[in-house]
A and B are shown apart, each in its own frame.
Chain A
Amino acid sequence: DIQMTQSPSSLSASVGDRVTITCRASQTITNSLNWYQQKSGKAPKLLISAASSLQSGVPSRFSGSGSGTDFTLTISSLQPEDFATYSCQQSYSIPYTFGQGTKVEIK
Chain B
Amino acid sequence: QVQLQESGPGLVKPSETLSLTCAVSGDSISNGDWWSWVRQSPGKGLEWIGEIHLHGTTNYNPSLKSRVTMSLDKSENQISLRLMSVTAADTAVYYCARAGGYKMDGWGKGTTVSVSS
Contact = CB atoms under 8 A, between A and B. Distances in A.
In the complex, which range does the number of interface residues on chain B fall in?
Answer: 20 to 34
Interface in A76-103: 87, 89, 91, 94-101
Contact of B47 (A32, A91, A98): A98
B101 A42 contact: no
B46 A49 contact: no
Interface in A15-47: 32, 34, 36, 42-46
Given A49-B102, A91-B102, A101 B95 contact: no
Given A42-B109, A43-B107, A99 B45 contact: yes
B105 interface: yes
A94 B107 contact: no
Nearest to B50: A95
A97 B107 contact: no
Given A34-B104, A49-B102, A91-B103, A44 B95 contact: yes
Interface of A: 1, 32, 34, 36, 42-46, 49-50, 55, 87, 89, 91, 94-101
4 closest residue pairs by CB, A with B: A91-B102, A43-B107, A49-B103, A95-B61
